[in-house]
Amino acid sequence: MGTEGDDFRVIAGRYRLEARIGRGGMGVVWRATDQLLGRRVAVKELALEASLSAEEARQQRDRTLREARAVAQLRHPHIIVVHDVVEDGVADDERPYIVMELIDGGSLADRIAARGPVDAAEAARIGIDLLSALRTAHEAGVLHRDIKPANVLVESGTDRVVLTDFGIAQVAGATTLTETGSFVGSPEYTAPERMSGARTGPASDLWSLGALLCAVLSGESPFRRDSLGGILHAVVAAEIRPPAQAEPLLPVVRGLLERDPDRRLGAAEAERMLRAFRETGRTPGPAVPYTPTQRDVPHRTPPLSPPPPPSPAPAGHSTRGVLVAALLVAAMAGAGVSAAALLMHGGDGDGGGTPTSSAPGPTTSASVSPTPTVTVTRGAATSPAAANSHTAPSGYRLARDPAGFSLAVPEGFTRDPQGERVFYMSPWDTFRLGIKAADPQTGGPLAVMSRSAANGASTNPGYHDGRVTRTTHDGKPAALWEFTWNGFSASEGPRHTYDLCWEEDGRMYDVWVSAPVGKVAEAREYFDVAVDTFAPT
């Protein structure tokens, strides 16, 4: 039973809790002293849900203690050492506590926040240590299920990487709290099979590690969005675009962020590839070559494959939109998220790289033609004329544009044609989504984007940090142009633009999104969805 001594609480007659050093969804972590052995320790006080009955609370305590004892059997230099598991309290209010080694140092998330992202060599070192730790845990039948920078400690003075917080770990053969109906974890780092409620295994932890590598290299998860709905869509359906900083480790990142867990890169192979990078400066490909299952449209680097498609749809109907919708519904069910929760969430000089005409400003009206009728379908494409029709994600509408294409645009965006370019503008023109269709040009998309980038300073005031990347779109040659510029006025401020150009059915298409530099995450989502759902009509 807990007692008070020297103004500190003592639990189990032995561990003196002295100061809180962390708090999370699963409980509070204390700096403490083991008075029997005279050593400093960390003690995690696990929270019990107030809504549980006495029997349910007892079952939760039993599961927590059983799993904590299993983790305590793990012995690895990069897994937190569990010294003891105790219960303390009065009658039905007994709480479980996990006594662990005290690591002098903050989390990987703290390090990134204070010092910024790490370089590829350091990311590889972190990845090697965590992969080795996961191999040990998985061989013992323990899944972590919440791998993220906040759950990785970095010891001061030694830089030892330590995987901690097995609070929602799953032990082989045990039923866990999260299997009773509620989702526990961090969506930005959660594998798509967990989002969809499918049975998960070691591969789910490896997906999370792939997202973590992107985060330590760039400062954020590649699935970060401004809403839960956006995160779910990014994880289960949108094309995955690793950050540019991940390019040195791209074969590993691509392999870990494979949506099909059966094809995902294994821990031993990923560790081998990272060790090779540390030794040679080059990352080899996997022993079994990676073969994407779907089109490649990278964020600066090649994307990763989406989930395998469902069984073929009848001729003349696209399965892509149905797949996206089905995965989102499954994800909402697996995460305990309602549809209502999801709903809560540049040729204007921005892009439109084809250099055959000047770039009008967002308020240019001289070339604006009368606005024709636009067919809008909310949530699904119901027009019978669309072999390539797509389903719009939650928060978007499918616009069948009279200029000869369809795509999903965010709710609230309005159409604004400007000569040969069509824009969909957010209120106050904060976000500008542009589309242009033209005849193919000499050299193809890469040459077009390269010429546009060369002229970037003349069309985009304060143009800088421009980069053109060769890629593909639906298996067709494409080029991605990304850059930052100063906007059209001081009041508008700096902006960032994503611009993809490709050829399809004898036409050249250009889709871009520009936004204030402080809103690039939201702009990237709009860009991803626009490119993903675009189809000529």
**Residue 94: pLDDT band with limits 50, 70, 90:** confident
Which residue has better confidence, 253 or 24?
A: 253
Per-residue pLDDT, averaged over 474-494, amounts to 86
Tell how far CA 40 is from the center of its chain: 37
DSSP state letter for 486: -
For residue 422, the enclosing domain spans: 375-536
**Residue 67: pLDDT band with limits 50, 70, 90:** low
Which residue has better confidence, 256 or 350?
A: 256
97 and 114 within one domain: no
Provide the pLDDT for residue 50: 63
**pLDDT at 180 > cutoff 60:** no
77 and 162 within one domain: no
15 domain-assigned: yes
Output the six-digit token pair for 218: 């760039």
Give, in degrees to the nearest 5, the angle at Cα 258 between 195 and 242.
100
Can you tell me the distance from the alpha carbon of 166 to that of 80, in angstroms, rounded to the nearest whole number? 9
329 domain-assigned: no
**Residue 369: pLDDT band with limits 50, 70, 90:** very low
- Which amino acid type is present at position 501? C
Can you tell me the distance from the alpha carbon of 389 to that of 534, in angstroms, rounded to the nearest whole number? 9
User: Is residue 485 within 8 Å of 497, Cβ to Cβ?
Assistant: yes
Q: Of 47, 81, 101, which marks where a domain is finished?
A: 101
Provide the pLDDT for residue 353: 63
161 and 63 within one domain: no
Per cent of the chain over pLDDT 90 is: 44
Which residue has better confidence, 333 or 34?
A: 34
Can you tell me the distance from the alpha carbon of 526 to that of 423, in angstroms, rounded to the nearest whole number? 13
Determine which of 172-181, 187-196, 401-410, 426-435 has the lowest per-residue pLDDT on average.
Answer: 172-181
Burial class (CB in 10 A: 0-12, 13-18, 19+), 312: exposed
User: What confidence tens digit (pLDDT) does each residue in 427-446 have?
Assistant: 888 899 999 999 999 999 99
| Entry pTM | 0.55
478 and 449 within one domain: yes
Between the ranges 195-199, 233-237, 415-419, 477-481, where is the mean pLDDT highest? 477-481
Provide the pLDDT for residue 183: 46
**Residue 453: pLDDT band with limits 50, 70, 90:** very high
Catalytic residues: 146
**Residue 497: pLDDT band with limits 50, 70, 90:** very high
**pLDDT at 185 > cutoff 70:** no
**Matching residue, tokens 């006495």:** 54
What is the pairing mode between strands 507-516 and 535-536?
A: unpaired
Determine which of 46-55, 136-145, 248-257, 375-384 has the lowest per-residue pLDDT on average.
Answer: 375-384
Q: Please give the full DSSP string across 276-314, using - where no structure is assigned.
A: HHHHHS-PPPPSS----SS----SSS--B--PPP-SPPP
CATH number at residue 97: 3.30.200.20
Provide the pLDDT for residue 78: 94
137 domain-assigned: yes
Give, in degrees to the nearest 5, the angle at Cα 376 between 371 and 379.
155
310 domain-assigned: no
CATH number at residue 128: 1.10.510.10
- Which amino acid type is present at position 523? A
Average pLDDT, the chain: 77
**pLDDT at 36 > cutoff 90:** yes
140 domain-assigned: yes
444 domain-assigned: yes
25 and 171 within one domain: no
272 and 250 within one domain: yes
317 domain-assigned: no
Between the ranges 248-252, 387-391, 459-463, 475-479, where is the mean pLDDT highest? 248-252
Question: How many Cβ atoms are within 10 Å of 418's Cβ, its own excluded?
Answer: 23
Which three-class secondary structure state does DSSP give residue 101?
strand
Can you tell me the distance from the alpha carbon of 205 to that of 200, in angstroms, rounded to the nearest whole number? 9
248 and 141 within one domain: yes
Per-residue pLDDT, averaged over 282-295, amounts to 61
292 domain-assigned: no
Question: How many Cβ atoms are within 10 Å of 17's Cβ, its own excluded?
Answer: 18
Q: Of 256, 280, 304, which marks where a domain is finished?
A: 280
| Structural domain count of the chain | 3
Per cent of the chain over pLDDT 70 is: 72
List the one residue out of 496, 524, 334 whose CA is nearest residue 410: 524
Per-residue pLDDT, averaged over 441-460, amounts to 92
Residue 180 zone, left/alpha/beta (φ > 0; ψ -120 to 50; rest)? alpha
Can you tell me the distance from the alpha carbon of 76 to that of 64, in angstroms, rounded to the nearest whole number? 21
Provide the pLDDT for residue 89: 66
121 and 219 within one domain: yes
131 and 176 within one domain: yes
Output the six-digit token pair for 221: 């998860």
User: What confidence tens digit (pLDDT) does each residue in 308-325 have?
Assistant: 443 343 333 333 343 444
90 and 127 within one domain: no
Q: Of 265, 280, 295, which marks where a domain is finished?
A: 280
Q: Please give the full DSSP string across 345-406, using - where no structure is assigned.
A: --TTTT----TTS----TT--TTPPP----EEESSS---TT-TT--PPPTTEEEEEETTTEE
Give, in degrees to the nearest 5, the angle at Cα 94 between 88 and 95.
75
Which residue has better confidence, 145 or 251?
A: 251
119 and 56 within one domain: no
List the one residue out of 494, 364, 522 whose CA is nearest residue 431: 522
483 and 379 within one domain: yes
